[in-house]
Amino acid sequence: MPIDPFTLVSPPLFAAADLREIEHRWTAAHPGRPLMAGAGAAAADLACMLARDTGEPILVLAGPGNNGGDALVTARLLAAQGFRVVVVSRADPARLPPDAARAWADWRDAGGNALTDVPAGQSFGLVVDGLYGVGLVRAIEGEDARWIGLANAMACPRLALDVPSGLDGDTGQVRGCAVRADHTLTFLGLKPGLLTADGPDHAGTLHLDALGVEPDMLPAVAGSALTRLEARHRLPPRPRNSHKGVFGHAGVVGGAQGMVGAALIAGRAALAYGAGAVTLGVLDARVAVDYGEPRLMFAPPERLVAAPLDVLALGPGLGQAAQARVLLETALASTCPLVLDADALNLLAGDPALSEMAARRTAPTLLTPHPGEAARLLACGTYDVQADRIAAASMLARRFRAHVALKGAGTVVTHPQGRYAINTTGGPHLAQAGSGDRLTGIVVALLAQGMAPGDALEAAVWRHGSEPSIPPAAI
């Protein structure tokens, strides 16, 4: 029975290699009971609910592997329920993998056939996409790409089996082109690529069917989906018998001339999320008060980076002048948790000595790069970062022995020990200057109040995405 995976707490994320391991364990424990039968049955049930009630046939696109096998089982079960089904496949039945070959034989025995092209001028009540799943190994091109283009242009809903064809389940990268599904029914477990990069735009509403696989058959994995907060992500209730000192003193350094707002946004967010006191070290010396949030204190940045604080953040609106570099060097020597954002990351990227210092810190370091900043830190292109966001964020976590939030659609939070989480809150309303500064402030607030660094970064990313959004006005 498919479920909404977002109702689960921190569901694990399985890469293609993990899924093959599950299949291996299942086959060893249950010979002769292919998982494909359950996958096809679940897909047929969902397809019944999604197909438009117009009497138009259901188009089933079936590929050359087991994803195509799932599609053929789905087609047979839908036809058995009285739906008109048009199967389109160019796969050579003689070369199908064993379970898919069985599905093809069953479909043919039930009177089914397959067209070798999508019929022109025909409208459909639903498209079932079973071209490629987690076995996608190269870019989609040729006839497959044409079919995907046709399917994406159809007015009816599209249901993708396992992953939208063309989307890499491990990374969320579109390889060539991909089905833009309205719904994706994914099998066994969630795949990281459904949640980050191009995944959310292509998967539509996610449904998960574990196909009856027992939890003890699932391999231990490094990744999970940040669907809901766990207890470790929450602060204890504020004791009545408390004072501002209990909730930490945070310092935020940044706000060079022309970018003062970045530091103010971070500072305001830190107060809003409960830091006991927040001092800004603004580089633009003309600014000494925030009239919109007069609780913010101001100190010379040189003094603030060397002050005894509970947490220090450096970066929002920092700029890259010589003064900023010196501030960063002093901040790296601090003994409290240190959050580096924006230009602090750019300065780090261009300076091997500072990078070395960052990697050697004994107090926790948290990095919050957007893909461009991550690319500078890794000395590669933004495209390379986006092609595998988990790998990029993991590399940064290892290199800097830091907790890292690689921002953007499906923010990836990685930890020095190798664990990672993909956030599921937020959306394109956050794609506006100043969003990242607010995230920095939220992280700072949670750290100031004593949350463990990795948990604070995850919780901040989740909460930032959960804030009520005011969508940009339609024009």
State the residues that interact with ligand NPW by CB under 6 A.
Answer: 19-20, 22-23, 35-36, 39, 63-68, 70, 97, 132-140, 144, 161-162, 187
Q: Residue 190, interface with ligand ADP (CB under 6 A)? A: no
Farthest CA pair distance, the chain: 81
Q: What's the closest the beta carbon of residue 447 comes to ligand ADP, in angstroms?
A: 17
Select the residue interacting with K ion from 66, 74, 89, 165 (CB under 5 A): 165
Q: What's the closest the beta carbon of residue 379 comes to ligand ADP, in angstroms?
A: 20
Q: How far apart are CA 158 and CA 137, in angstroms?
A: 23
Site for ligand ADP in 343-382 (CB under 6 A): 370
Select the residue interacting with ligand ADP from 77, 283, 439, 445 (CB under 6 A): 439
Q: Is 88 annotated as a binding residue?
A: no
Q: Residue 80, interface with ligand ADP (CB under 6 A)? A: no
- For ligand NPW, give the closer residue by CB, 71 or 461: 71
Q: Is 437 annotated as a binding residue?
A: yes
Q: What's the closest the beta carbon of residue 30 comes to ligand ADP, in angstroms?
A: 40
Q: Is 66 annotated as a binding residue?
A: yes
Strand pairing report for 223-226 and 12-13: antiparallel
129 binds, among ligand ADP, K ion, ligand NPW, none (CB under 5 to 8 A by kind): K ion
> What is the 3-state composition of the chain as percent helix, strand, coil, each rounded to the nearest 5?
40, 15, 45
Beta strands in 323-390 (DSSP E): 338-340, 365-367
Q: How far apart are CA 178 and CA 444, in angstroms?
A: 39
Q: Residue 458, interface with K ion (CB under 5 A)? A: no
Which string of DSSP letters, residue by residue, matches 4-72?
A: -GGGSSS-EE--HHHHHHHHHHHHHHSTT--HHHHHHHHHHHHHHHHS-TT-PPEEEEE-SSHHHHHHH
Q: How far apart are CA 4 and CA 168, in angstroms?
A: 21
Cβ count near 123 (within 10 Å): 12
- For K ion, give the closer residue by CB, 63 or 408: 63
User: For 80-105, b where at least 16 C-beta lie within 10 A, e where not — what string?
Assistant: eeebebbbbbbbeeeebeebbbbbbe
165 binds, among K ion, ligand ADP, ligand NPW, none (CB under 5 to 8 A by kind): K ion
- For K ion, give the closer residue by CB, 160 or 392: 160
- For ligand NPW, give the closer residue by CB, 135 or 316: 135
Closest listed residue to residue 139, CA positions, set 168, 107, 160: 168
- Positions that interact with K ion (CB under 5 A): 129, 160-161, 165
> Which residues line the annotated binding site for AMP?
407-411, 436
